[in-house]
Each structure stands twice: as C-alpha cells, then as structure tokens.
Amino acid sequence: MVIDLRSDTVTKPTKAMLEAMMNAKVGDDVFGEDETVIALEQKTAKLFAKEAGLFCPSGTMTNQIAIKVHTNPGEEVICDVNSHIYNYEGGGIAFNSGVQAKLLTGDRGRMTAEQIEQNINGDFDWLTKTSLVSLENTVNRAGGSYYKQEQVLPIAKLCKEKKIFLHLDGARIFNAVTETKESTESTGEPFDSISICLSKGLGTPAGSVLLGTKEFIKKARKIRKVFGGGMRQAGFIAAAGIYALDNNVVRIKEDHKRAKEIEKIVKSLSYVDSVLPVDTNIVIFDLSKKINSAAFEKKLFENNIKMAAFGKQTVRFVTHLDFTDEMLWQLEKILKSIQL
Ligand SMILES: *Cc1c(COP(=O)(O)O)cnc(C)c1O
C-alpha cells in the first residue's frame, strides 16, 4: 500500500466517475457545441451566484486569464506573499499580463481590508495603477487557512469604492465552504471573478472553471484561446466535474477530520518542532534541527509514504479522497516508529 500525501491532486477517478465520463454527450467546445461543458459551466456559475462560466484545463490558466482580463500592462495586483498566483504560476503575472504583484503579509495568507487600503496606489504619474486584488481561499502555502465571510465583505466593499476588481483563487473553495458553512452563493457573491479547481479535493483528472459576468467570460474565452486552452470534445472531462460537484463535495469533511488526526499525531512526535494550525485538509509542520525535510522525505519514501518537502525543515501532508482511515493508521504507525 502506497500512501500519497503530496497533494490532493494525486487522486484517480473512481469507476463511477469514469462511467459518467464515458457516457458524456460531447461536441466541439471551441465552436461552443459541447453540451456537457456548457452544463458544467452553467451549474458552477449558478452555485456561486455568477452569470457565466468557462471550463479550462487548469487552475493556473483560470487565474492567469482572470488577471489578463482585469488588468493592463504596467499595472499592479495586490495579493498575499503566500499566494499561488505569485509563487507557483511560473511568473505568469509578469509573463502573461505585464503586471507586477504587490505582496502583503496577511494572517496566514489572509489580508485585511485595512491592509489592502493602505497599499492601493493614488492617482499619480509615477505610481503603479492598482487594478486588481486577488484573495486565495483556502490558502495552500499557509496550511489551508480560510477566510470567514465577515473578513471578505469589507474587502469587497473597499474594492467597489476604489473601482478595483476582486478575484478569488478558489482552487479549494469547497474546503473553505465546508468549514464556514456559508452557502456557495453568498461565498461567491462578493467577487468579480472566481477560479475553481475540480482536480483537487473534488477528485477529477483535470479541469478548472472560471466564473464571472457574461461580459467578463466573453473576454476570458478569447484569452483562453490565445493561451492555447481551447479544447475540442472536452465534455468527457467536464462530465467528471459534474459528477464531482454532485458526489464529492459533502465528503470533504472526512478529509478535514483525517487532517486533524494527523495534526494530533504529528504534534506528539519528538522530532517535530511546530505544526501550523490545521483548519482544512493541509498539514504543514517543521521538523527539529536534527533532521531536514529531504532526509525525512527519503525515509518516509522507503516506508511507502510520499510527502512534499515545503522548505528545508518544513513538510506538507495533504489529505484527499484516496486517503483512507486504514492509511491513516498505517501512517501513524510509521511516524511513531521511524528511526531518524
Ligand atoms: C492547485 C492550485 C491552483 C491551480 O493549480 P493547477 O495545478 O494549475 O490546476 C491555483 N491556486 C491554488 C491555491 C492551488 O492550490
């Protein structure tokens, strides 16, 4: 038995999901003729109270398209120093949009309206125009922390007043909603655009959906083509997304429960220095000085456990649909008995 805790992207489609995919009605989506893609886009848009959606190959693409549509070259996007759009999209903000990032240090990835307000540039020839604020929810690099609705609303109000667009990198928005217990509609409402991954906690092989107004999605469709993301009979993959929205959302709380169990186990280990609070499905902890994460990774790998080294002493475990209770017990046994 191999236990893979590197990411929630490692899940493989179940038989039922594959069946849904095989039975999909498809067409050429670049011509707008794939009814399954259209159904997925409409279903996701409705869930998050948006007018329209756009199915894309990845969450990187949905984020990057949003940045491109909302900005002009030489402008600025405000985001947290931990954000995926800044750290893990290959410099795409600069590469694709000619835009720079103003990095704020939030509370485990969560910025406040006051913080953002202090960093919006005034209208001077020599200052960079602030045209976009991007929030991430949950925050991957900060250990899966999430925004409460009362933290988002003042930010949305500020952005409206200042005529700045507000984007949500909601790669793991269903993990956030599982904890906040807000409806998806009210969660989506404050944002101009939202990116949602289907291939993380929801367990599809690929795909993300970008949401916004009809006008925004019309522009986004054009950019998707420019970025090379126009797919043809994409309904086979979109069908997995529809299946996941119908079947894999409610069970996300199990991933959170198992992550909490891992937190308890990890906290009890003599070779662990500190653990970030576990709010959703991500466990990030620091090893004591006697072992670094590369050596730890190798040791775990010898015991059939895969993990992500997240820094010299830092380790990340992510729970997901293919991580079972049996695997949790096995993990506990190995972590407690391992000789370092
Ligand atoms: C995974 C992820 C994305 C998108 O990644 P892709 O691998 O391109 O789908 C975007 N934002 C966050 C926070 C993520 O964790």
Q: Which of 140, 145, 204, 310 to mutate to test the pocket of ligand 1 (most atoms within 8 A of CB)?
A: 140
Q: What is the pLDDT of residue 340?
A: 83
By DSSP bridging, strand 208-212 and strand 52-56 are antiparallel
Distance 66 CA to ligand 1 centre (A): 14
What residue's CA is closest to ligand 1, atom 6?
Answer: 59
CA–CA separation, 102 vs 99, rounded Å? 10
pLDDT at 339: 86
With 0.85 as the threshold, say if the pTM is over it. Answer: yes
149 CA from centroid of ligand 1 (Å):
22
Query: What type of residue is 8?
Result: D
The set of residues, in sequence order, having a beta carbon less than 8 Å from that of 184 and lying 6+ positions away, is 47, 48, 49, 173, 177
Would you say domain 3-8+251-334 falls under CATH 3.90.1150.10? yes
Question: What is the CA(84)–ligand 1 centre distance, in A?
Answer: 7
Cα of 195 from ligand 1 centre, angstroms:
9
Ligand 1 atom nearest residue 197's Cα: 9
Strand partners, 166: 133
Whose alpha carbon is nearest atom 4 of ligand 1?
A: 59
User: In angstroms, rounded to a whole number, what is the distance separating the alpha carbons of residues 213 and 53?
Assistant: 8
Cis ω for the linkage preceding 204 (within 30 of 0) = no
Write the class of the CATH domain 15-247: alpha beta
Which atom number of ligand 1 is nearest to the Cα of residue 200?
1
Query: How does pLDDT run across 173-194, given as a tens digit for each residue?
Result: 999 999 999 999 999 999 999 9
Q: How many CB atoms lie within 10 A of CB 115?
A: 16
Residue 94, token pair as written in the block? 């600069």
Looking up tokens 């960093």 gives 119
| Secondary structure in 3-state letters for the chain | CCEECCCCCCCCCCHHHHHHHHCCCCCCHHHCCCHHHHHHHHHHHHHCCCCEEEEECCHHHHHHHHHHHHCCCCCEEEEECCCHHHHCCCCHHHHHHCCEEEEECCECCECCHHHHHHCCCCCCCCCCCEEEEEEECCECCCCCECCCHHHHHHHHHHHHHHCCEEEEEECCHHHHHHHHCCCHHHHHCCCCEEEEECCCCCCCCCCEEEEECHHHHHHHHHHHHHCCCCCCCCHHHHHHHHHHHHHCCCCHHHHHHHHHHHHHHHHCCCCEEEECCCCCCEEEEEECCCCCHHHHHHHHHHCCEECEECCCCEEEEECCCCCCHHHHHHHHHHHHHCCC
pLDDT, residue 139, reads: 98
Tell how strand 305-306 and strand 282-287 pair up.
Answer: unpaired
Locate the domains of the chain by residue range: 3-8+251-334, 15-247
Distance between Cα 89 and ligand 1 center (Å): 8
**149 touches 180 (CB < 8 A):** yes
Tokens for 262, please give them. 């891992």
CA of 90 to the centre of ligand 1 (A): 12
Report the residue among 6, 8, 60 best suited for mutation to probe ligand 1: largest number of ligand atoms under 8 A from its CB: 60
Note whether 13 and 213 are within 8 A (CB).
no
Structure tokens at 195: 């990116």
Ligand 1 proximal residues by C-beta, below 6 Å: 58-60, 63, 84, 136, 140, 169, 171, 197, 200, 208
In contact, 93 and 128? CB cutoff 8 Å: no
How much distance in Å is there from the Cα of 331 to the middle of ligand 1?
A: 26
Question: Residue whose CA is closest, atom 5 of ligand 1?
Answer: 59
> What does the pLDDT profile of the chain (340 residues) look like in tens digits?
999 999 999 999 999 999 999 999 999 999 999 999 999 999 999 999 999 999 999 999 999 999 999 999 999 999 999 999 999 999 999 999 999 999 999 999 999 999 999 999 999 999 999 999 999 999 999 999 999 999 999 999 999 999 999 999 999 999 999 999 999 999 999 999 999 999 999 999 999 999 999 999 999 999 999 999 999 999 999 999 999 999 999 999 999 999 999 999 999 999 999 999 999 999 999 999 999 999 999 999 999 999 999 999 999 999 999 999 999 999 999 999 998 8
